[in-house]
Structures are given as C-alpha cells and as structure tokens.
Amino acid sequence: MSDWSKKKYMGAFVEKCSFLHTDSTCFCPAETSSEARKTQKGLLLSFPSSKQAQGLSQFQRFSLKLSRQAVAFIFFAFGNLADAMKLIYNSVFLDHNTGMHPENRKRLDAFGPLEETEVLDGTPWLNLVHTEKYIEHVRATCQAGADLDRDTVTSAGSFEAALRAVGATIMASETNDFALVRPPGHHAYPSHASGFCLFNNIAIASQKLANEGKRVFLFDFDGHLGDGTSHIFEESDQVFYCSIHQYPAFPGHGRANETGTGKGKGFTMNVPLPPNSGDDIFMDAVATCMQVMEQYNPDVVAVSAGFDAYQYDLLLELRVTENSFFKTGQMLRERSNRIFATLEGGYNVEALPACVRCFLAGINGQENPHPAKDTTSFRMEWESYELRINSTMANLKDWWKFK
C-alpha cells in the first residue's frame, strides 16, 4: 500500500491484522505496534496478540473477536479524529485590509475565535506559477496600498497575507487539511491579478504536487469559474481542472466546450449552471464530476472551496444550501483519502462559517451540523441545465465515460 492508503490511528500507522483479517488493509487499533499503542492517549486497547489468543478458550476467543469487531466498527463509523480535516488559520489573513469590499476581513471574523497555526511563507513556491515581474508588481502595489485592478484592492498588509495564504495552502496539501485563508486565489493568472485574487494558492500547491509526480484532480465548486486556475493548467494532463459554476457570471466564460489544449485536451471539465439552480441541479453536477474523478484516479484531490453558490450569497444567483456542501464533502470522502482544500469565495458572512463546517463534516464522516431544507430547481432551469450537462459530456466523451 502507498503511505496515503494506510490509515492512522491516533497518529500511528496500523500493521497487518492476522487474527480477524487475511489481508493487509485492516485498520483495527488493536493491531498497532506496542510503541504505537503508547501514543494512543488513554485509548489503550490492550488486546492480546494473535499468538496469545491461541491459548484462550473458545468462548474467550469469541468474546475477543466481538470486542475487536466493535472497536473496528467504532473506528470506521466515527473516523479518526487525529486524521480529521482541520482548519489552518492565522490572524495574518486579517491584515489584508480591503475596507468595505465584499472580500473583507469579516469573512474570517465571522468564525469567531479560532486556534492559530504558524503558517509558512509561500515565497519559495510563487514562481511555480507566477512570473518574477508579477510578484514584484504585487509587492510594490501592496506597499503603496494601491489597486491591482478595478476589483482587486490591496493594503500594506496584503502582500504578507498573500504569501502566508500560499504557505497555508501548501501546508494543507501535505496534511489533508483546509486552509482558511484570504486573499483567495483561483482567479489569479501567472502575470496578472483578477477577481479579488493576488496569488493562485490552489494552483501553486497543485503544481508543486505535479512536480513531485502526483496526479491531481483539482475540483473547484466555487460559484465562479476559477479562470486563473483553468488557464494555468489548460495544457496539463497532470492536473485535471474541474469546475462547477454559474454561467453567465464573472469572469464570463467556462463553457462546456472549454476542455483544455494540447497535451491537456480532455483534462478540463466545465459544468456551467444556469442562474437559480438549486440543490438538485448542483448535486447532479457534482455526481457527474465524480464519475470523471474516479476514472482519472488521482493521487491527490485539491479543492477550491468557494461557498458563493449559497442561496443567499451577495454576488451570485444560485440557490444552494448547506446540505449540498455537506454532501459534496461526503462524496469526496467516499472516493479519496488524500484531499485538501483552500478557501475561495463566499460572501454571506453570516452563512459562510456554517457552509465551511458542513463541508468539513462531510469530509470527516460526521453528521451534518446545519441541516437545511433542500432547494428545488424549476423546470426552466432544469431544461437549461440538461442542455449544458449533455454538452459537457459530449465534449469529453472521447476521454471519459458517463453513465
């Protein structure tokens, strides 16, 4: 098994279980090494080894088997808290002062007090995606507190915040966590800013993984197309870019026939949703994307986690509830154990924390903490969506199969 196909229990890799199982994929806590058991912080389940069990009576062996099976059930049913996707956050992200701009510090303030993590400086990885000229332009613009474009404002603290947003996303890519950062990144191009984004956090982390030989499925469910990310990977077959977004909306493209170029032809998938699409359409789109993800068989799933598809978001006209973000997390969990995410959009500051927590709960195998009533799309939206999704599948049929 690869390192990432081995589960951990309280931080320790488990070994082969010869008592209850015949293969090497058992994750029973009882089968951790003696040293590993010492690390299990009060959860010491000191079952006898297989050899020791041979000296037990039939009744004792039966009872032991039931005990082990109960432990295994609890482990699988509730997951491993030590391995749960966690938030990576630092208050440096609040120093990106944008005033009354929609992308402002209130988006993170809304989460209340959060445990802070010391995050990396992303400088060493910027040139994986961005040009030196652009990096220096961002530095100078932030020092002056000027705007990078008509949508993307900066302040004296923005450059450091952006560097740390890259660093936090790199960290998340190594620990399967969620980088709760700002400024966001998926609109940023190699040589210019766009759509509130300075550096493309998810693209930098994904390119780093690709350079390490990993196949990355980059799933972007932000309500806007990540046009910077799409551009960066349009010629790559090492990073598959898949986006669900409202169309028409900013940035004005992301149509079904945009499927990549050159070696990357067939490795870009756009699912444009009509305005007023509800949970039913959104989840149908997610399910269609999951079909391709399974066939691509990535080593890592990178998630541009934007929550502006939420039904009361300020910038879009989609009608997605917390339920869909929860279910999306569940569907990803069922298909990969190597997932990381970084925050993109989501501008309803009252709802953003609930949306993020629902996604995390889905990823972590927990219950939906904020269940809502599902929204249903009207016939006109369904008819428009059916045309679009069929076009998406038709444009990709030479590379991928759809049910």
Q: Which residues does the annotation mark as catalytic? A: 187
Cβ density class 127-147: b for 16+ within 10 Å, e for less: ebbbeeebbebbeebbeeeee
Residue whose structure tokens are 């938030």 = 87
Contact, 151 vs 187, CB < 8 A? Answer: no
* Beta strands 239-246 and 268-273, pairing class: parallel
Decide: helix, strand or coil at residue 197: strand
Mention every residue, 6+ apart, whose C-beta is less than 8 A from residue 54: none
Q: Is 147 left (phi over 0), alpha (psi -120 to 50) or beta?
A: beta
- Cβ atoms within 10 Å of 23's Cβ, excluding its own: 7
Q: How far apart are the first and last CA of the chain?
A: 30
Asked whether the CA dihedral 377, 383, 387, 393 is positive or negative, the reply is positive
The span from the CA of 303 to the CA of 294, in Å, is: 15
Are 384 and 248 within 8 A, CB to CB? no
Identify any residues that bridge with 13 across adjacent strands, giving them in sequence order.
8
